[in-house]
Amino acid sequence: MSAISERPPAAAASAQRPTSISQLPGPKESLVLGHLLQLKVSRLHLQLEGWARTYGDTYRLRVARQQIVVISGTEDIAAVLRARPDTWSRPRNFASIARESDAYGLFAAEGDEWRRQRRMVMAGFDPEHLRNYMPTLTRVTRRLRKRWIVAAHAKKVMDLQDELMHYSVDAASGIAYGLDINTLENAQSELHDNLKHMFPMVFHRMNLPFAYWRYVRLPSDIAHDRRIATLHRIIGQIIAQGRERLRQHPERREQPTDLLEAMLAARDADGSALSESDIRGNVFTMLTASEDTTANTLAWTFYLLHEHPEAWERLVEEARAVLRDAPVAQALDELRQMPYAEACASEAMRLRPVAPLLILDAVRDTAIRDVHIPHGTRLYLLMRPGAVDDAAIEAPRAFIPQRWLADGAASVHSPKRLSMPFGAGPRLCPGRYLAMLEIKLVLSMLARDFQLLEVGTPDGTPPDEILEFTMHPVGLHLRLGTDAGMPAD
């Protein structure tokens, strides 16, 4: 079932403004566990959006003793995201859970530790470095094209999510640590087969009220430990290879060809470098933060383009005009000439954000508008309602990419202000430009040479949304067409 949220009616706000969390509206709760038994983690964002339609922009939940405030007003969300790391942190159990899983990198770090890591890790994302990653991205995109030409000639029905995950795994592995894993052409990768279970497990543990696994090991916890040990070994080897490359090619300290080289070469202003465990945690973080997010965003964009032939036609025109004889873009400058492809992705992210829920904790007493928020309160930020608010944006639930091409980012009605798919403030996603490059490479390759014959679920209903740290569509298949004589290279 499609579930794009609507804004709550203004009448939902109480006449008398609340000043403490207990005065906020919220669904009925049980005495001891609060709302715990009502929350379904895999559909949490949909459930929370549904309650927002009943209880308004700001409402209250409780899980055992944990007070939770849920907010969906764009201005409130932006203000909270800007007030990090000093007022708000990621959930306080997240850092320890990430550490136990060897996943403690930029996403999990807090305070001064986060500031230090952010300065150094960001070095790998500057525009000059992005240019150096293009050969890897072009190679992987060509491979995907070849695979899809074979599939189109064979009239094969593909699993869309699976195809895009292979692509983003190969792209992320190349960019993050310079390895050509090639899951598009070869069998499984030991690294990714283990990696793909890690963030869902971290997300699951983060949402439990009690860290049972520190006392009792269930089979799923034992399997998790085994995966961590395997990942620790593989990532250790990857880092050793990165060090060896820098030793053999010292010039890459200035011109790194992947994120690992950039991290190994990075030095803070005081000359300190990232530690071995910082690097391990960040190799892990870059892979997990980039793969599902990019693949899921592409999957939703394909789906929406298939539903909107007029948008698809415009994308085809742009791709053919920019790429001409080249089947895949080779240079950053070509991708910069594709505003419509970018608009399609931005519009897909507005309607189907793959991070529809951000969870934070108050690290000090604070306030949201006039609601007093004590230290330790948990905050659920709903990222979609403000971006599909009919009071703020015209035809809010329609897929209209060209709305992103209009000037007026300064207007409060601009989608650029209402939609925050990459977060906001100091912890804004550092991989956003890289993600857009990947997305534009795939969309332009697709539009230049293929027809989108089918993108849908087996029974033709709109795809359901599942939240497993990131949100993805369920059960989409893909069938492509291409000219009979289309060469694969």
Task: Catalog residues that contact ligand HEM under the rule CB under 6 A.
Answer: 81, 106-107, 118, 285-286, 289-290, 293-294, 297, 354-355, 358, 421-425, 427-431, 434-435
DSSP 31: T
Q: Which is nearer to ligand HEM, 59 or 199 (CB)?
A: 199
In the structure encoding, which two tokens stand for residue 174, read together? 């190349």
Given a contact cutoff of 8 angstroms between Cβ atoms, the answer to whether 449 and 329 are in contact is no
Closest contact distance (angstroms) between CB of 118 and ligand HEM is 5
Q: Which is nearer to ligand HEM, 322 or 357 (CB)?
A: 357
Q: Are strands 378-382 and 66-71 parallel, antiparallel or unpaired?
A: parallel
CA dist 415 and 398 (Å) reads 13
Q: Which is nearer to ligand HEM, 358 or 442 (CB)?
A: 358
* DSSP codes of every residue in 267-295: B-TTS-B--HHHHHHHHHHHHHHHHHHHH
Given a contact cutoff of 8 angstroms between Cβ atoms, the answer to whether 398 and 390 are in contact is no
Closest contact distance (angstroms) between CB of 129 and ligand HEM is 11
Q: Which is nearer to ligand HEM, 189 or 297 (CB)?
A: 297
Q: Which is nearer to ligand HEM, 105 or 463 (CB)?
A: 105
Q: Which is nearer to ligand HEM, 51 or 125 (CB)?
A: 125
In 3D space, the residue among 142, 146, 148 whose CA is nearest the CA of residue 180 turns out to be 142
CA dist 279 and 444 (Å) reads 34
Closest contact distance (angstroms) between CB of 10 and ligand HEM is 28
Q: Are strands 88-89 and 58-63 parallel, antiparallel or unpaired?
A: unpaired
In the structure encoding, which two tokens stand for residue 42, read together? 């895999």
Closest contact distance (angstroms) between CB of 271 and ligand HEM is 23
Determine how many CB atoms are found less than 10 A away from the CB of residue 240: 10
Q: Which is nearer to ligand HEM, 25 or 200 (CB)?
A: 200
In 3D space, the residue among 380, 376, 412, 357 whose CA is nearest the CA of residue 58 turns out to be 380
Closest contact distance (angstroms) between CB of 50 and ligand HEM is 21
Closest contact distance (angstroms) between CB of 285 and ligand HEM is 5
**How does 272-282 read in b/e, with b if 16+ C-beta sit within 10 Å?**
eebeeebbbbb
In 3D space, the residue among 227, 231, 226 whose CA is nearest the CA of residue 177 turns out to be 231
Q: Which is nearer to ligand HEM, 67 or 301 (CB)?
A: 301
Closest contact distance (angstroms) between CB of 438 and ligand HEM is 7
Closest contact distance (angstroms) between CB of 108 and ligand HEM is 8
DSSP 7: P
Closest contact distance (angstroms) between CB of 168 and ligand HEM is 8
In the structure encoding, which two tokens stand for residue 302, read together? 């394909």
Closest contact distance (angstroms) between CB of 14 and ligand HEM is 29
Q: Which is nearer to ligand HEM, 316 or 439 (CB)?
A: 439
Determine how many CB atoms are found less than 10 A away from the CB of residue 19: 13
Q: Which is nearer to ligand HEM, 8 or 353 (CB)?
A: 353
Q: 3-class SS at 122? A: helix
Where does residue 50 rank: exposed (0-12), middle (13-18), buried (19+ CB within 10 A)?
middle
